[in-house]
Amino acid sequence: MITAIYPGSFDPVTNGHLDIIKRSAKTFDKVIVAIAQNPNKTPMFTIEERMDFLKRVINGLPNVEVDHFDGLLVDYVKEKDAHVIIKGLRAISDFEYEFQMALMNRKLDSDIETLFMMTSYKYSFLSSSMMKEVGKLGGCIAELVPDAILPDVLKRLKSV
Catalytic residues: 17, 41, 90, 128
Asked if 154 contacts 131 with a C-beta cutoff of 8 angstroms, the reply is no
Minimum gap (Å) between residue 104 Cβ and ligand ADP: 15
Helices and strands counted in the chain (H then E): 6, 5
Q: Single out the segment in contact with ligand ADP by CB under 6 A; choices: 53-61, 69-77, 88-96, 152-160.
A: 88-96
Question: Identity (one letter) of the amino acid at 139?
Answer: G
Binding range to ligand ADP, per CB under 6 A, among 4-12, 24-32, 44-52, 75-83:
4-12
Closest CB 82 distance from ligand ADP, rounded Å: 16
Q: Kindly state whether residue 17 participates in binding ligand ADP, applying the rule CB under 6 A.
A: yes
Pick the binder of ligand ADP from 79, 97, 129, 143 (CB under 6 A).
129
Give least dist CB 159 to ligand ADP, A.
Answer: 20
Of all helices (H) and strands (E), which one includes residue 4? strand 3-8
Ramachandran bin of 89, using left for φ above 0, alpha for ψ from -120 to 50, beta for the remaining angles: beta
Distance CA 126, CA 94 (A): 12
Helix (H, G, I), strand (E, B) or coil at 124: coil
> Residue from 4, 5, 9, 32 that binds ligand ADP (CB under 6 A)?
9
Under the binding rule (CB under 6 A), the answer on residue 76 touching ligand ADP is: no
113: CB partners within 8 A, 6+ apart: 83, 84, 85, 106
In the list 87, 106, 136, 156, the residue contacting ligand ADP (rule: CB under 6 A) is 87
Residue ranges binding ligand ADP (CB under 6 A) = 8-10, 16-17, 20, 87-88, 90, 94, 119, 123, 126-129
